[in-house]
Structure 1
Amino acid sequence: MWLLSSSRAELHFFPSPESVPGGYAILSHVWGPDEQSFQSIQALRKSCAKSGGNPRDHVSDKIRECCKLAEKRGYDWVWVDTCCIDKTSSTELSEAINSMFRYYSLAKVCYAFLADVPTGTDMIALSSEDSAFRRSRWHKRGWTLQELLAPPELLFVSERWEMLGSKADLSDVLQQVTRVPADVLLNREEFINTSVAQRMSWAAGRVTTRLEDEAYCLMGIFRVNMPTLYGEGRQAFRRLQQEIMRHYADTSLFAWGNAPPEALTDLMRLYRFPSRDRSTGHVLPERDALWSTLADCIILLGLQVDCQASGKYFVP
C-alpha cells in the first residue's frame, strides 16, 4: 500500500498495513471536484526535489490539513484514497478496493472530514434535529458506511479541521442517522453477527458516483472479495449477492421487505438493490430455524431448492 509521509506528503510504498512502523492514520471524506491523484502527488515530489521545497505546502488543503493533524498526533504516515491508489493500474485499483475495509480496520485512527459541518458546533448542536452534522453528505455516501464501521477509532472533524467528537461520543445521533445499532458502533457487538438483511438496510439511501461502486463499497461489510470490473453496471451487484450466498447460510438475504409484487416476477429482483428499501433493518439471521429442512444453493442459472415431495396429491 502507498502512504503519505505526514511531514512532507510524499508517497512511500509498504508491503502491507501491518508493516507500517508506528501505524498510520487514514482519511474518510466525501470526494470533491478537484481531488489530487497519485500522479499529481508524484509530480509535486519531483518538482519540489528540484526547488528544495516541501511538497506538503503545495498539496490540496484537505491533504495538507490531514497530514498536519496526523503529524500533530504522532503519526508519520497517512492514507488518503484519492492519492494513495494508482488508478491508472486496474490491478492496483482492484487490489485496493478489495483491501479497503482492511486498510480502515488496521489504521490507528480515522479522521472523518465533514466539509459541510461548520466549526464551533458543540455536542448539543450536533445532536439537534436539524443539525448540519445530521444533514452531512458524509452519511449519504456508499463508501463511508465501511469507513464508519471498520476503524477502531473514528474522529469527526469540521470544515476547518477542528474536532467535533468521536464515534463513541456521537453514537446516539449516529444510530439515528445511519440506523446502525449503538452496540455495533461502540463495538459491544460485532457487526459480522448481524443478518445480511440488516447490513443491506444500513446501505439504504446511500449513493455512489459509479454504478458498480454500489456493490464494491459493500464487499468489506460482508467480508467477501471479487474482481472489480468497471463498465459491468448492475452485474456488479449480482456478483456481490452470489458471493454473499456462497459465504453465508443466511436466508435473510431473501427478505425483500416492501418490494412491489410485480418486481418479484423478475429474476433480477433476486439481486435486490439496497438503496430502495430500509424496512429490513430488524431482520435477524435465519440459519437453522425456518429454512432448516431446505438445502438451498446458488448455481449459475438461478436458485436450486431441494425439498421432499408428497405423493398424496395427483395432478393429471
Structure 2
Amino acid sequence: MRLLRFPTKPGEQYRLEQVPASTKIPYIAISHVWMDPGTSYEHEILFHEFNDPGVWKTKPDGAAKIKGACDTARSWSARRKGFDSNAPEVKHIWLDTCCVDQKNSVELTTAINSMYRWYQNATTCFVYLSDIEKLPGQDLDLSKCRWWTRGWTLQELVASSVTEFFDRNWTRIGDKKTLQSSLTAITKIGAPYLADSKMVSRASVAHRMSWAAGRQTRQEEDMAYSLMGIFGVQMPTLYGEGRVSAFRRLQEEIVKYSNDHSIFAWNDEEGTAGETGLLAPSANCFKKSGAYVHTPTPQVNEPFSLTNKGLSIVLPLQKHQMQYIASIDCPVDAGFIGVYLEFDQVTGVYRRVRPGELCKVLKGGRGQPQRLYVRHRFDM
C-alpha cells in the first residue's frame, strides 16, 4: 500500500511512500466524499499529480483537503502522546485520492479488494464532512451530509472501530461513541456493529445488505465492489459489466461461504428484476429486509450451492394456484418468509416470479422439503 508522509519538522515535504501491505506503521485513514459529485476529478489532487507544485496551486481545494487532514493528524498524534507517552507518533495518513493510482487498473483492483482491511488496520479513521460546519450554539444536522449517501463510505464507517468526525474546517464534531445515537438513526446500523468491526460478520446477509440500500457510487459497478469487505469476499473488478452483473457476482461469492437464507429475503419494489432467480438485482431490494435473520430448521438445514443448472437448494415447497411457494429459513411472526416460484417443465428449473413480493408461510403449512434447482441469474 501507499501512505502519505506529512511534515513533522521544518523543511520536510509531503511525500508518498510505498510500504508493505502488512505494514505496522501507524497511520490515519481519511474517509471523505470526492469534491465533484459527477465523474470529474477536477478539484482533487491525484497520485500522478502529487509531485507537481503547479497542480497544488491550481487545485487549492484539493490542496486544502490534504493539508487539513495532515495538520489534524499531526495535532491528534501530539495530543495522544500527551496522554500516553508510549503511544507511537503518527506521521502518515491514507487518502484514496493520492495514495492510489486510479489510472493503474491492477493497483486499483488491489486497493478495492484491500480497502476494508486498510481501514480496519488504521490507528483511527477521520471522517471529513465537507458540507457541514460546526457553529457555536447551533445543533448540527448530520443527516444532511452527502457522506451518508455514498457506497464506499459504508465500509469505511464499520471497518474502523475508532472513528472521529470533522466538519469542513476540520473542527472535531465527535466520535462513534458520542455520536452513536445519531449514527444509528441515520444509517440503521446497530451500536454493536458500529463499535466493533469484528461483530459485522455476525449480522445476517439481509441486515448488512439493508445498510447499503439507497446509497450511490460514481461507477455503477462500485456499489457491489464497495460491499466486498463487509461480506469478507473478494472478486475481480470488471468495469463495464454493469450494476446488475456486478451485484450478482457479489452474491455468488457470498453463497460460496455462507448458508444464510436471508440473502433470498428481498423484494424488488422498483420492478427492475422481472422474472428472475433467487439473487437480487441490487442492494436497494433489501431496503426493508434489515430485520430478517437466518434460523436453520432441521428439515431444511442442508448445504446449497451454485451449479450449471441453477441454485441447488433444499426448501419446503407448496402449490399455490398456478405457481409455487418455497419457504426459506427466515422466521417471521408465526411462520417463515416465502418466495413465489414458477416451474419450467422443459428445463426442470424453477424461477422466481412476483419478485416485488414476499409472503408469510405458517409453520405447519410449509410443505415437504425437496431439492430444487432455481435460476439464480438474470440472463439464464
Q: TM-score, normalised by structure 2?
A: 0.71
Q: Does 1:125 align with 2:139?
A: yes
Q: CA deviation at 1:256?
A: 1.2
SS at match of 2:240: coil
Query: Which whole-Å deviations, capped at 9, do the CAs of 1:250-307 have from their partners, x for residues lacking one?
Result: 010000146478946223x623311244211111134x32773443211245211357
Instruction: Please show how residues 23-38 of structure 1 align to structure 2 within 5 Å.
Output: 23-33=26-36, 34-38=43-47
Q: Name the structure 2 match of 1:3.
A: 3
Q: Name the structure 2 match of 1:147.
A: 156
Query: Which whole-Å deviations, capped at 9, do the CAs of 1:52-77 have from their partners, x for residues lacking one?
Result: x9xxx996111110011112222200
Please say which of residues 299-308 and 73-82 is displaced more in the overlay: 299-308
Q: CA deviation at 1:16?
A: 1.8
Structure 2: how far apart are the matches of 1:261 and 1:141?
23
Q: Name the structure 1 match of 2:23.
A: 18
What code does the residue aligned with 1:88 have?
A: K
Cα 1:193/1:308, change in 2 over 3 Å: closer
Q: Percent identity?
A: 36
Q: Does 1:97 align with 2:102?
A: no
Q: CA deviation at 1:17?
A: 4.5
Q: Name the structure 2 match of 1:66.
A: 69
Structure 2: how far apart are the matches of 1:285 and 1:293?
10
Structure 1: how far apart are the matches of 2:134 and 2:271?
47
What code does the residue aligned with 1:192 have?
A: S
Compare CA radii of gyration and give the structure with the larger one.
Answer: 2
Cα 1:118/1:223, change in 2 over 3 Å: same
Structure 1: how far apart are the matches of 2:167 and 2:271?
44
Q: Name the structure 1 match of 2:180.
A: 171
Runs of 4+ in 1 over 6 A off after TM superposition: 307-310
Q: CA deviation at 1:117?
A: 1.1
Q: Name the structure 2 match of 1:40.
A: 49
Structure 1: how far apart are the matches of 2:257 and 2:145?
34
Which protein has the bigger strand share? 2
Q: Name the structure 2 match of 1:225.
A: 234
Which protein has the bigger helix share? 1
What code does the residue aligned with 2:102 have?
A: K
Structure 2: how far apart are the matches of 1:173 and 1:245?
33
Q: CA deviation at 1:161?
A: 0.4
Structure 2: how far apart are the matches of 1:224 and 1:78?
26
Q: Does 1:159 align with 2:168?
A: yes
What code does the residue aligned with 1:226 have?
A: M
Cα pair 2:28 2:92 within 8 Å, conserved: yes
Q: Name the structure 2 match of 1:302.
A: 310
Cα 1:213/1:262, change in 2 over 3 Å: closer
Cα pair 1:5 1:78 within 8 Å, conserved: yes
Q: CA deviation at 1:308?
A: 9.7
What code does the residue aligned with 2:206 have?
A: A
Q: Name the structure 2 match of 1:192.
A: 201
Q: CA deviation at 1:35?
A: 1.2
Please say which of residues 254-263 and 6-15 is displaced more in the overlay: 254-263
What code does the residue aligned with 2:139 have?
A: A
Q: Name the structure 2 match of 1:81.
A: 96
Structure 2: how far apart are the matches of 1:145 and 1:282?
19
Q: Does 1:108 align with 2:111?
A: no
SS at match of 1:83: helix
TM-align CA RMSD: 2.9
SS at match of 1:112: strand
Structure 1: how far apart are the matches of 2:309 and 2:33?
38
Structure 2: how far apart are the matches of 1:88 and 1:185?
33
Q: How many residues align?
A: 293
What code does the residue aligned with 1:171 have?
A: Q
Structure 2: how far apart are the matches of 1:156 and 1:95?
27
Q: Name the structure 2 match of 1:313.
A: none
SS at match of 2:165: strand
Q: Name the structure 2 match of 1:245.
A: 255
Query: Which whole-Å deviations, capped at 9, do the CAs of 1:157-192 have from their partners, x for residues lacking one?
Result: 001000000011101011010000112212397111
Q: CA deviation at 1:243?
A: 0.3
SS at match of 2:110: helix
Cα 1:185/1:109, change in 2 over 3 Å: same
What code does the residue aligned with 1:289 have?
A: T
Q: Name the structure 2 match of 1:206.
A: 215
Cα pair 1:293 1:307 within 8 Å, conserved: no
SS at match of 2:23: helix
Structure 2 unpaired stretches of 5+: 8-12, 37-42, 78-89, 318-367, 369-380
What code does the residue aligned with 1:66 have?
A: A
Structure 2: how far apart are the matches of 1:26 and 1:147?
9
Q: Name the structure 1 match of 2:350.
A: none
Structure 1 unpaired stretches of 5+: 311-316
